Amino acid sequence: MLNTLAPGFSRAAVEELSRYKGEPEWMLQLRLQAWETYENTEAPLGRRGDLGTIRTVAGFNFQQLKPFTAVEKDAALPEKVQNSLQASLVNERSGLIVQLDSTVVHTELSDELKQQGVILTDLDTAVREHAELVREYFMTRCVPAGSSKYTALHAAFWSGGFFLYVPKGVEIEAPMLAQVWVNQPLSAAFSHSLIIAEEQSSVRFVQEYNSTVAGEDPSLLSDVVEVFAKREGRVEFSNLQDLGQNIWNITNKNAVFENDGSVTFVLADLGAGVNMATIGAGLQGNGSAGELVGVFFTDHDQRYVINTLSDHVGLSTNAETLVKGVLTDNSRVEFDGMIRVRPGAQQTASFLSAHGLLLSKKARGEFIPGLEIAANEVSASHGATSGQIDEEQLFYLMVRGISRPEAERIIVQGFFEPVLQRIPVENLRIRLRRSIISRMSGAYETEADTWVDAQERWEIEGVDENAISLDGNPEDDEIKLAEY
């Protein structure tokens, strides 16, 4: 019985993993093709003058990791996982699925949804029991296996993962909850989420990434999320990444839209020592709509790379990307957002906004928005800012008897609040508020004392992106959105 693969990635390890899982020949061939792509693709090194995180990932010693770590299926959940479920981001849920390391160990789905034809299972089971769906959608159009060197490695070694299928016309009100836990040092977990929402269906999917790995030895979580929204289908995907800082996270999330389909990504990144995220929206269908709301908070020497793409192909599509984050200590964040309007994608409306607030002189952030416009009936705007807290706003609070640390905390909450209000899952908003405050104060406090009550007492207004003080001429501090 295979419990773990020896450290190192190789073609033989791919074959051994597929044989252990008893996979059909087509999946083995997909894995082997992906491995060939991985072997023949150079690791990206980034551009000259960037903050070096992409090059850091390229230099990571992947061969020190175990590609597969098995956990007994249906085993009792560890106490930490049980406690996490009790304090999870959703109060009422329609389904639950949990992955520990390389294995999905627990699955729940309400009988009512089963009778309606909803499928929630691990991806290994889906390969055997729903092969026609997996073969059509798995790493073909949404996140192709050959998209990058790292997606190819994921396609070769994926294990566990989640499969959700929502039939035509089924509307699921209570969220689905998924958790991924990394528990072993010097291990690699490859979790894959495949969500298919048929015509006129709707679903909310909430996913959490956590870890229990102690010490300094690194581990890797390589995850891919593929969302397919069919005609008039609606998917809301929320993700909280709160991994330990000895975890490296490489993530790719993308959605494919048919006519009038809509997908919302809500992404909150708090953990991981190194986090390289690629998030996209492929708006092929006419009238489709995509939304990305993202928040992050980095400290110590965390390194983040965040790439977003709104890819407009169909007619009358619209997309909005709004990302805000705070950087402290020696952390580094690179944000690169793109709006791409293809030829023929007329009547497009797209908006991109990214803002970083630096609380440390040693923190560094780059926020670069971009446009590629190949149609002439387009409304597209983009803007970005990064800088220190405005000293005038700090002075305004401190002359009223508020200490500088508390004044900074109030400004940070005002900076984040417009984005947090866009997050539809209430528990996620509460969790993020408490996490942000704990990062700044070093201890958890009640939300009322640190967030809502503070905003009511001092009536802080206009401290969103205006909380940023840019270097240079004060008259040029305001960056207006560029519109095309």
Q: Is residue 125 part of a domain?
A: yes
Residues in the chain: 484
Q: Distance (Å, rounded) from C-alpha 45 to C-alpha 65? A: 21
Number of domains in the chain: 1
Distance of CA 171 to the CA centre of its chain: 24
Q: Distance (Å, rounded) from C-alpha 284 to C-alpha 297? A: 33
Q: pLDDT tens digits for the chain (484 residues)?
A: 466 788 899 999 999 999 999 999 999 999 999 999 999 999 999 988 899 999 999 999 999 999 999 888 766 777 778 877 777 767 789 999 999 999 999 999 999 999 999 999 999 999 999 999 999 999 999 999 999 999 999 999 999 899 999 999 999 999 999 999 999 999 999 999 999 999 999 999 999 999 999 889 999 999 999 999 999 999 999 999 999 999 999 999 999 999 999 999 999 999 999 999 999 999 999 999 999 999 999 999 999 999 999 999 999 999 999 999 999 999 999 999 999 999 999 999 999 999 999 999 999 999 999 999 999 999 999 999 999 988 888 898 899 888 888 888 888 888 998 899 888 888 888 888 888 888 876 544 555 445 544 444 444 444 566 677 765 444 444 444 555 4
- From residue 311, give the alpha-carbon distance in Å to each of 232, 255, 305: 19, 10, 19
Q: Is residue 458 part of a domain?
A: no
Q: Is residue 88 part of a domain?
A: yes
Q: Is residue 407 part of a domain?
A: no
Q: What type of residue is 400?
A: R
Q: Distance (Å, rounded) from C-alpha 388 to C-alpha 397? A: 16
Q: Is residue 402 part of a domain?
A: no
Q: Is residue 424 part of a domain?
A: no
DSSP 43: P
Terminal C-alpha separation, the chain: 60
Element (H, E) at 82: helix 79-86
Burial of 12: CB neighbours in 10 Å, binned 0-12, 13-18, 19+: exposed
Whether the Cβ atoms of residue 255 and residue 196 lie closer than 8 Å to each other: no
Print the domain residue range for 46. 11-389
The pTM of the full predicted model, rounded to 2 decimals, is 0.91
Q: Is residue 3 part of a domain?
A: no
Contacts of 25 (CB under 8 A, 6+ apart): none
Q: Is residue 443 part of a domain?
A: no
Closest CA to 367 of 289, 240, 468: 468
